[in-house]
A = this chain, B = another copy of it.
Amino acid sequence: MLIQLQANICPDQKTAIQDKAKELKYKTTEVITQAGHYLVGTGKAEFDVRTIGHLPGIKDIHMVSDDYKLVSRKWKVNPTVIDFGDGLQVKEGELTLMAGPCSIENEEQIEKTIAHLVSQGVRFMRGGVFKPRSSPYSFRGLGLEGLKMFYQLCRANGIKIVTEVMQVSQIVPMEPYTDVFQVGARNTQNFNLLDELGKVDKPVLLKRGISGTIDELLYSAEYIFSGGNEKLMLCERGIRTYETASRNTLDLNAIPILKEKTHLPVIVDPSHGIGIRDYVEPMALAAIMAGADGIIYETHEKPEEAASDGAQTLSFAESARMIQKMRKTFELRKELV
């Protein structure tokens, strides 16, 4: 059960609704986000929805059979729109592109990447300053100082930043310099991080776990939404299977399934997904035909010199070519609907 409350609901009205829900053996969780005020009810009893629905203070009420209720498309049929100002929105019906290096390395690298993105009309730059690495002895990124430099250069050029946050204590220092908090595949079920990102008024790009199910991704999104943050994007980035011919198994099946289950935008990462430079483009185009709302990928002036992930990173020339193809593919998809 999902109850949308009216903006001007008074405390007594809310209490009356909660009491009624309790009477019906539903546990309610109150959720206040940037855009709405909800009571999420979990329980099993079946009842006439009007029993509660007629109470004052209620805007709308939906019975949602999914356990992830706030991110479910069963109550919110219209897809989520995330507004970044300046006419920039992430939403169904437009193709969002996010590109950049795996790791932020230095000022020159950022400037060259920005110049490439601006020339192609791409508005989001990805790049990590905190890098999760399997081995403690690997390069772990430039940290906050790198992020500040990254931010200043992007801001001066109208580019939005997508960058990974690895832990709760990074959220506050990163926030002034971040446009989209990316949650990596190793943190999809870092529930405390999700809880805290629920309290932030910045969009979050939530990646599917390394061997996460589609349902687990939606539950993790529910954590952030129920924490108070509706500005959510989901990201398919490949799953772990027995096959070693590709780095991961990019699971494009997840796209139509997610698009039906949730109102959130679905972004696809073919770079990590297949992990081999020459195959990033066909997977990106395939993802678009499968219904993706956006593509995030890795590009670098000199991929062979990149600090990390060079083998799956496109040169700017390859990136430019792929952007043109992605846009044409997206146009065709819109025609075919």
Binding site for B on A (CB under 8 A): 27, 29, 40, 42, 67-68, 132-137, 166-169, 186-187, 189-193, 195, 209-211, 213-216, 219-220, 222-223, 226-227, 239-246, 249-257, 260, 273-274, 276, 278-279, 282-283, 285-291, 325, 328-329, 332-333, 335-336
Contact = CB atoms under 8 A, between A and B. Distances in A.
Contacts of A273: 253
Contact of A253 (B67, B192, B250): B250
Given A137-B42, A243-B213, A253 B279 contact: yes
Contact of A29 (B40, B137, B216, B223): B137
25 contacts: A29-B136, A134-B215, A134-B219, A166-B191, A167-B167, A186-B189, A210-B211, A211-B240, A211-B242, A241-B242, A241-B249, A242-B242, A243-B251, A245-B254, A246-B257, A249-B249, A249-B251, A252-B286, A253-B273, A255-B286, A256-B278, A282-B289, A286-B289, A328-B332, A329-B336
A42 B133 CA distance: 15
Given A192-B166, A242-B240, A279 B257 contact: yes
A136 B253 contact: no
B136 A226 contact: yes
Contacts of A260: 278
Given A253-B246, A329-B289, A135 B239 contact: no
Given A134-B215, A328-B336, 14 more contacts: A29-B136, A42-B137, A136-B195, A167-B190, A169-B192, A186-B191, A211-B211, A213-B242, A240-B242, A241-B249, A255-B286, A285-B289, A286-B286, A286-B290
The 7 residue pairs across chains A and B that have the minimum distance between CB atoms:
A211-B211, A286-B290, A167-B192, A286-B286, A285-B289, A186-B189, A256-B279
Nearest to A40: B137
Contact of A135 (B137, B219, B256): B219
A274 to B, nearest CB: 5
Nearest to A246: B253
Nearest to A190: B190
A65 B282 CA distance: 26
Contacts of A286: 252, 255, 286-287, 289-290
Nearest to A292: B286
